[in-house]
Amino acid sequence: MAKRIYFFGGGQADGDGTQKPLLGGKGAGLHEMTRLGIPVPPGFTITTEVCTAFFASGERIPEGLLDEARAAIRRVEEIVGTRFGDPENPLLVSVRSGARASMPGMMDTILNLGLNEAIVAGLGARTQNPRFALDAYRRFIVTYADVVLGIHRKRFDDALEIARRKAAAARGMVEAQRLTVAELQRKLPDSMFDEETLRSLVKEQRRIVQEETGTPFPDDPWAQLEGAIVAVFRSWNNNRAKTYRKMHDIPEAWGTACNVQAMVFGNLGEDSGTGVAFTRDPSTGEKRFFGEWLPNAQGEDVVAGVRTPNPIAKGQGNDEGSLEVRMPEAYAELVRTQERLEKHFRDMQDLEFTVQSGRLYLLQTRNGKRTGRAGVRIAVEMAKEGLIDQREAVMRVDPASIEQLLHPTIDPKAPKTLLARGLPASPGAASGQVVFHADEAERKAAQGLPVILVRAETSPEDIHGMKAANGILTARGGMTSHAAVVARGMGKCCVAGCSAVAVSYETATMTVTIYDELGRPTDTVSVKGGDVITLDGATGSVYLGAIPTAPASLSSEYEELMRWADTARRLKVLANADTGADARTARSYGAEGIGLCRTEHMFFDDKRIAAVREMILARDVDARKAALAKLLPYQREDFTAIFQEMAGLPVTIRLLDPPLHEFLPQERKQIEDLAATMKVRPAELVRKVEELHELNPMLGHRGCRLGVTFPEINEMQARAIFEAACDVAEKGAPPKLEIMIPLAMTRKELALAKATIERVASEVFAEKGRSVSYLFGTMIELPRAALRASELAEEAEFFSFGTNDLTQTTMGISRDDAGKFLGAYVEAAILPKDPFTSLDTEGVGELVAIACERGRKTRPNLELGVCGEHGGDPSSIRFFERVKLDYVSCSPLRVPIARLAAAQAALTEGGATTLQTTA
């Protein structure tokens, strides 16, 4: 039987840092730290395999596991010198979840386990601090009741408030009854509760449990332990965890490990405390030890963000409260430890620590979450420091996170009204309507309204609202609060801990206190739900109204990383761009040409649409040619602009693709206007529009089928292309021209189009007295085209996979309607992902592979690329590397992502350049 429990403690550990799949990230970190001799309270990890077995057997703890846990607890007792369940000298434990990938705050944790009334009394006597023992117990009861017994927290919150009001009255705080819950909480925080208050609170909590469950709160520590283990495993499947997994592509099958560990207490008094730290700044990536802590507190206090924490080091505000000043010895040891851990794990670490009566303990180390900008900077600087090599630096950065570097920032020159300043928790800038609830955020965002979610603090229940919002503002909490960590992961702009803001959910208002330069309150502004505000996540500023944003500027570390990536990359990265301006943007992001220019986008322009409609509705060929002649100069102008931007680089122009009816007027007024211009009766136009109507337009008269019935369209487009290319060639370097036919399925369709294009080319070249070279090719968008690739390659000099249509036609799923049911497919794991976002490599991918192989057989130097949306999707790019396409083409803003993803694909899929290891 596989080993189910891994012990760590006393300088020895059964596991190590490499065993994340089995021990979870938290577990693996604890085992490795123990091996390194770092002070870690002893404990044990129940493996993720046990969690999987637990679910496989209908949520039953495997036979014999609890006996093994008992034996492991005995070993902990020996090391710590206390005994589990012994009122004289009790051992308390924490029971924590910890999956292979970190899922911050998504699953459950129980602290202070192993208490009952007798043990509380014993612990109070032994620590000479009965208040502390009672405080630990009341926290334990609430968490246990919530997590294990499933009793709503609200009941305990209410009990807490009643206790607070009673305590206030007893202290003679006459105004207490008039204060709001939040105001009173500030005046009389939990930490000021006396023994008597805590004792009656505990009594009330136990009464609630009895009332809700019909049985007393469990007093047997072993029963508590069993309940907690079950709850931790179950929490793998709670809704928050499921949502998080979906967002981060974490497989359902992994399961969580369960860590049981001796408690150390940060709330034993003023020489105790607890905190969270990062070995480098998770927001900017700067190499500076950075973190927050709270004196006399337990870990949950820091993360919950109810108290605003102090900095760890000096020079980060509130020096007096810093750990460096308050506990210099523990601080010095923490600094040494963080340096060691970063060197050892060769990555930025996110640490949790507790100081108990002056002694430092590490409770967690893991690779820290970071912003996209920080990720790039850390990878590049670590390579330069020699901690990792360049290859690893390229592999370290998640291509999707690069997107954050491309985020807009607030236009510095725009006029603005500063409301307040909070912590710059996650970069980016966002404007939107203020909403106070996650559900409301989701509802409004679904209507296309940009919203800013404003909360006193966020909790995992708010995650769907955070996802829907453009930005997040919280009144409380620090840089490591839930809001900050989650927003950073989502790449969303977030301002946290904005203490000038007071949120009232009852009245849907946030009241902002305005301060003068000397920090004196001068005024208050009240912002209602629905009012617009703007957040600047880079500075922590909150502004009234909407403010224009300026485009992102890329860091020098980014440029360096991309250079390394480009050295490793085999696939070329082109862009999908339809205008000169798009082409310029694409170039600035490093596109090496244009892989798809959709010419129909040029048709929608206000000035041109009339000519387009005339062309479509023309009674005969001559009338159509006359209308096309009006379009020709426009098309030529567009092509000229693009060719100038892309001198010397490939530019792939696709001939007209969509069904013609897409260009026609639908509304009565538009039809009447057009009829007047064309000098026909409106009824005639209506009839024509009806004639063009198709039941399945995506499978209808579109793509190269248009050229078969109306060859004049191809003629006009080819003429515009060649005239523009000759004109550009006259002044400088022409682009590497490629002309592409959409939606082909037979060789003959290609031969027909090719004949037209060749004829027009020779006409234009003769007129211009010069020629430009070009390739003729086709998109592969139909299964038949993929299967008959060997014939198509007789005509085509290149293939470009139109994987949007190829997905649609292979899977028989309409691109335009899939949204209605694809979500359910992904939810039920029928499909792993939306196949229009991430290529279905098994099905659609097989057709791509077949077409590559058969096409190359006919024409060994056949050029192969992809221009569907998948060209900018990292996991699809890995597949395109495997089938050895020549290029991917994607929207301009995804070009950097594709460059990095292509480099990573080359480095992992083999056969690629290896990078130098010197920086």
Backbone φ and ψ for 218, nearest 5 degrees, come out as -65, 130
**Stretch (H or E) spanning 211:** helix 195-213
Using CB under 6 A as the binding rule, the residues of this chain from 691 to 750 that contact ligand PEP are none
Cβ distance to Mg ion smaller for residue 376 or 743: 743
Residue 619, classified by CB atoms within 10 Å of its CB into exposed (0-12), middle (13-18) or buried (19+), is exposed
Closest distance of CB 869 from Mg ion, Å: 10
Identify what 295 binds: Mg ion, ligand PEP, none; CB under 5 to 8 Å per kind: none
Q: Which stretch binds ligand PEP (CB under 6 A): 206-214, 325-333, 719-727, 799-807?
A: 799-807
Asked whether position 463 contacts ligand PEP by CB under 6 A, the answer is no
Q: Which is nearer to ligand PEP, 638 or 657 (CB)?
A: 657
Cβ neighbours around 658 below 10 Å, total: 18
Closest to ligand PEP by CB, 17 vs 872, is 872
| Shortest distance in whole angstroms from residue 862 CB to Mg ion | 20
Q: Is 482 a catalytic residue?
A: yes
Binding site for Mg ion (CB under 5 A): 781, 802, 805
Is residue 594 at the binding interface for ligand PEP, with CB under 6 A as the rule?
no
421 binds ligand PEP (CB under 6 A): no
- Least CB distance to ligand PEP at residue 803 (A): 5
**Rg from Cα positions in the chain:** 33
Spatial distance between the Cα atoms of 503 and 436, rounded to a whole number of angstroms: 8
* 596 contact choice in Mg ion, ligand PEP, none (CB below 5 to 8 Å, kind-dependent): ligand PEP
User: In this chain, which of 804, 837, 858, 875 binds ligand PEP, going by CB under 6 A?
Assistant: 804
- Binding mask 752-791 toward ligand PEP (x if CB under 6 A, else -) reads -----------------------------x----------
Determine, following the binding rule CB under 6 A, whether residue 598 of this chain makes contact with ligand PEP: yes
Please check if 707 is assigned to a binding site. no
Residue 884 as a binder of ligand PEP (CB under 6 A): the answer is no
Tell me which H or E stretch contains 887: strand 887-890
Q: Does 536 bind ligand PEP (CB under 6 A)?
A: no
SS (H, E, C) 542-592: EEECCCCEECCCCCHHHHHHHHHHHHHCCCEEEEECCCHHHHHHHHHCCCC
Q: Cβ of 630: how many Cβ atoms within 10 Å?
A: 16
Instruction: Choose the binding region for ligand PEP from 172-180, 798-806, 895-903, 906-914 (rule: CB under 6 A).
Output: 798-806
Q: Is 62 helix (H, G, I), strand (E, B) or coil?
A: coil
Shortest Å, Cβ 639 to ligand PEP: 18
657 contacts ligand PEP (rule: CB under 6 A): yes
| Shortest distance (Å) from residue 750 CB to Mg ion | 16
Give Cα 8 distance to the centre of its chain: 34
Q: Is 560 in the site for ligand PEP (CB under 6 A)?
A: no
Catalytic residue among 31, 407, 482, 661: 482
Query: What DSSP state is assigned to residue 369?
Result: P
CB of 704 to ligand PEP, least distance (A): 13
Nearest to 458 by CA among 475, 439, 435: 475
Helices (DSSP H) in 386-526: which residue ranges? 390-396, 438-446, 463-468, 482-490
**Under 8 Å between Cβ of 494 and 487:** yes
105 marked ligand binding residue: no
- How far apart (Å, rounded) are the C-alpha atoms in residues 386 and 641? 45
Contact of residue 330 among Mg ion, ligand PEP, none (CB under 5-8 Å per partner type): none
Length of the chain: 919
| Residues with Cβ within 8 Å of residue 663, at least 6 apart in sequence | 603, 604, 609, 612, 613, 616
Closest CA to 477 of 449, 493, 496, 491: 496
Partner from Mg ion, ligand PEP, none contacting 601, C-beta within 5 to 8 A by type:
none
622 in a known ligand binding site: no
Looking at the chain, the number of H-run helices and the number of E-run strands are 34, 34
Burial 400-415 (b: 16+ CB within 10 A, else e): ebbbbbbbebbeeeee
Q: Does 595 participate in binding ligand PEP (rule CB under 6 A)?
A: no
Tokens matching residue 477: 């909490």
Q: Write phi, then psi, for 372 (nearest 5 degrees).
A: -60, -45
Minimum CB distance to ligand PEP, residue 886 (Å)? 16
Considering only residues 840 through 879, tell me which ones interact with ligand PEP, judged by CB under 6 A: 867-868
Q: Which of 122, 802, 872, 874 binds ligand PEP (CB under 6 A)?
A: 802
Residue tagged active-site, from 493, 597, 704, 867: 867
Decide if 865 contacts 886 (C-beta within 8 A).
yes
| CB-nearer residue toward ligand PEP: 368 or 802 | 802
Q: Which is nearer to Mg ion, 344 or 701 (CB)?
A: 701
CA atoms within 13 A on the CB side of 13: 28
Nearer to Mg ion, 124 or 659 (CB): 659
Nearer of residues 352 and 781 to Mg ion, judged by Cβ: 781
Least Å from the CB of residue 789 to ligand PEP: 16
| Cα→Cα distances 613→228, 538, 619, 665, 682, Å | 70, 48, 12, 8, 14
H-helix segments, 410-555: 438-446, 463-468, 482-490
For ligand PEP, the closer of residues 468 and 741 by Cβ is: 741
* 804 marked as part of a ligand binding site: yes
Q: Is 160 one of the binding residues for ligand PEP (CB under 6 A)?
A: no
Q: Pick from Mg ion, ligand PEP, none: which does 440 bind, CB < 5 to 8 A by kind?
A: none
**Residue 781 known to bind ligand:** yes
The Cα 360–Cα 271 span in angstroms is: 11
Residue nearest to Mg ion (CB): 805
Distance CA 607, CA 724 (A): 20
Q: Which residue lies nearer to Mg ion by CB, 135 or 805?
A: 805
Please state, as a whole number, how many other Cβ atoms lie within 10 Å of the Cβ of residue 256.
32
To the query of whether residue 51 is one of the catalytic residues in this protein, the response is no
Q: How far is the CB of 781 from ligand PEP (least distance, A)?
A: 5
The residues that are catalytic are 482, 867
**Which residues does the annotation place in the binding site?**
598, 654, 781, 802-805
**Which residues does the annotation place in the binding site for Mg(2+)?**
781, 805
Residues in contact with ligand PEP by CB under 6 A are 596, 598, 657, 781, 802-805, 867-868
**Which residues does the annotation place in the binding site for substrate?**
598, 654, 781, 802-805
